[in-house]
Structure 1
Amino acid sequence: MNQVDTSQKVVLITGCATGLGKALVETLSRNPAYKIVVTARSHRLEHLRELFQESDKLLIRELDVTNESNVYSLVNEIANLWGRIDVLVNNAGICYRSVVEHMDRESEMIQLETNYLGPMSLIRSVLPIMREQMNGHIINISSVSGMVSMPTMASYSASKHALEGATESLWYEAKPYGIKVSLVEPGFINSDSFKNILLPKKAKLSAKLKGPHSEYYNSMSPFIESLMKWAFATPESIAHKVEKLIERKNPPLRLRVTLDAVVFSILRKLLPEFMFHKVMFLLLPGSRLWGHRSYFGNRVRAKKINSSAHA
């Protein structure tokens, strides 16, 4: 093992090919205080090498967070090369949009493996290193969906709720060893990430054929896209906030980094639960008509058929 250099923090970041991960690498690479391990899945590596150039302070490596052997192999490589890992940023994620009825087990597992089980594997792999150092910082990129669930986002919200719960427990467990733990909670970000949204097979079919629940997709998708286009927060602005979070001596457990995330957290505290959900439902576009075509329409047609049969 090489002689350990403690003059620079070693930062491991997942999901660096686009969005916040890319912006975070760009931000931290300008700061001489950091050595960075930049990662993405195999099909994004070529793109990653076009964006960044390897040096004595920046490594580009393949990482599939759902592959536990890949996770432990990379962490061991970093520990052998640079002797330490000071900051882990779990940023890689995936988003399936679907009502609960249309979600399938395969898509559900991909969602959980990427957004929850993968980050937990990384955390388990770096914890012994940080514990021996008596120092470290684990940063999990969560979402406003980790505190507020929305229609067509059940699976995504479930994965982020799981990450939030585990991170809160970890905060208590890691604190005696000098390891800091933080959740970063962005809401709507002005980016093209909505183009990466995935739909399971049943959701695609329903949206295409205007089947049951298609009204949810037809109203929620444009609504979310418009909110993202009008959002003030950008991947770059959030990356700067994450950099400041890393630099803080006593970072908070939760950091809400967009205005809507702050507003949602305040509303959840101020409003009784029944009122909060009622207000949220009424504010969603077209919500008063949801179910009319798929449920009430079918019921009316069935009633007419039965009436005709008895006539």
Structure 2
Amino acid sequence: MPSAERQRVALVTGASSGIGAATARRLAAEGWRTILVARRRERLEAVAQEIGSAVPLAVDLTAPQAPALIAERCHAEGALHLLVNNAGAAWRAAFGDRERGGAANVERTLELNFLAPVRLTEALLPLLRASAPSAIVNVSSVAGRIALARQGAYAASKHALIGWSEALRAEERRHGVHVGVVLPGFIATEGFPHTGLRRNPITRLIVSKPERVAAAILAAGPGGRAERYVPRGYALVPLLRLLAPPLWRVVANRLSM
């Protein structure tokens, strides 16, 4: 493991379970010191204790003071070499559903999935530049390239994250800060268990694990890749939409049933 002076420092949001916890474990195994951020203090502290060399920071990313609190803790480390914006959620509802959908659902989804990473990145960008070469990895979704029924708010937030990330990559290259995007497909996590898909012996093949996303995050961050689909075959989905729009609409209608 690197010495304390040279040890690489990473911050991972949504680190109390799923993709975030798997990423924290992978980074720790490769010698990184990690700062773990999530809302659930007990779960977060359990992950930090499990992997060691980790700092748990229980913060609601949508709180106004969150970016400043997290930045203060990162500055205490003296460097930040990797920021993983992973925290996110989805509240599935048709836009016309007055109880669960509408503008209110779009706004709360954008607040967590897009605006929170934007604000946190803004607060940490000076430290990332000072620590260069460094990287930012924004965890989007295949839904950031396509959209299905009852997923409009989620897709909008992930589309926005990808577009902003691509612009940020071009802007920060000269500062030595790489920006990568990871686009998971169906990943079995606490928030997205995909129980029905995993019960079917055929559809379970399209459901992957958080550990594979963690590997993609390292490839899109320190590895310097611009984007990674997980599993990689999901890259064919937006290609189908681009090359055969009528066929894609048939598939999308089936998937939306």
* Both proteins in one fold, TM over 0.5: yes
1:12-31 mapped onto 2 (5 Å cutoff): 12-31=11-30
1:201-216 mapped onto 2 (5 Å cutoff): none
How high is the sequence identity, in percent, across the aligned residues? 27
* Residues 224, 72 of structure 1: alpha-carbon distance in 2 compared, 3 angstrom cutoff: farther
Matched residues in 2 for 1:155 and 1:55: separation?
34
What is the aligned counterpart of 1:252 among 225, 228, 237?
225
* Residues 229, 85 of structure 1: alpha-carbon distance in 2 compared, 3 angstrom cutoff: same
> 1:188, 1:260 within 8 Å by CA — same for their partners in 2?
no
Aligned counterpart, 2:175: 177
Deviations 1:149-194 (A, max 9, x none): 0111000001111111111111111111111001100101134433
Matched residues in 1 for 2:56 and 2:84: separation?
15
**Residue 119 of structure 1 aligns to a residue in which SS?**
helix
Aligned counterpart, 1:200: none
What is the aligned counterpart of 1:235 among 210, 213, 223?
210
Matched residues in 1 for 2:243 and 2:156: separation?
23
Aligned counterpart, 2:74: 78
What is the aligned counterpart of 2:255 among 276, 280, 284?
284
Amino acid at match of 2:89: I
**Residue 61 of structure 1 aligns to a residue in which SS?**
strand
Matched residues in 1 for 2:33 and 2:126: separation?
20
Matched residues in 2 for 1:130 and 1:76: separation?
13
Amino acid at match of 1:247: P
Q: Which runs of 5+ in 1 are unaligned?
A: 197-220, 287-311
Question: How many residues get paired?
Answer: 251
* Residues 54, 258 of structure 1: alpha-carbon distance in 2 compared, 3 angstrom cutoff: closer
* Residues 128, 247 of structure 1: alpha-carbon distance in 2 compared, 3 angstrom cutoff: closer
> 1:87, 1:136 within 8 Å by CA — same for their partners in 2?
yes
Give the CA RMSD over aligned residues. 2.7
Shift of 1:136: 1.6
Matched residues in 2 for 1:144 and 1:225: separation?
22
Matched residues in 1 for 2:205 and 2:190: separation?
12
Aligned counterpart, 2:105: 107
* Residues 65, 58 of structure 1: alpha-carbon distance in 2 compared, 3 angstrom cutoff: same
1:85-104 mapped onto 2 (5 Å cutoff): 85-102=80-97, 103-104=101-102
> 1:189, 1:228 within 8 Å by CA — same for their partners in 2?
no
What is the aligned counterpart of 1:261 among 234, 239, 244?
234
Matched residues in 2 for 1:285 and 1:245: separation?
30
**Residue 178 of structure 2 aligns to a residue in which SS?**
strand
Deviations 1:27-68 (A, max 9, x none): 111222x11001111xx1112222331898310111211123
Shift of 1:256: 1.1
> 1:68, 1:121 within 8 Å by CA — same for their partners in 2?
no
Shift of 1:265: 3.1
Aligned counterpart, 2:150: 152
1:22-61 mapped onto 2 (5 Å cutoff): 22-32=21-31, 34-41=32-39, 44-53=40-49, 57-61=53-57
**Residue 59 of structure 1 aligns to a residue in which SS?**
strand
* Residues 152, 222 of structure 1: alpha-carbon distance in 2 compared, 3 angstrom cutoff: farther
Shift of 1:195: 5.3
**Residue 179 of structure 2 aligns to a residue in which SS?**
strand
* Residues 174, 125 of structure 1: alpha-carbon distance in 2 compared, 3 angstrom cutoff: same
* Residues 6, 183 of structure 1: alpha-carbon distance in 2 compared, 3 angstrom cutoff: farther
Higher helix share: 1
Q: Which runs of 5+ in 2 are unaligned?
A: none
> 2:216, 2:228 within 8 Å by CA — same for their partners in 1?
no
Shift of 1:266: 2.9
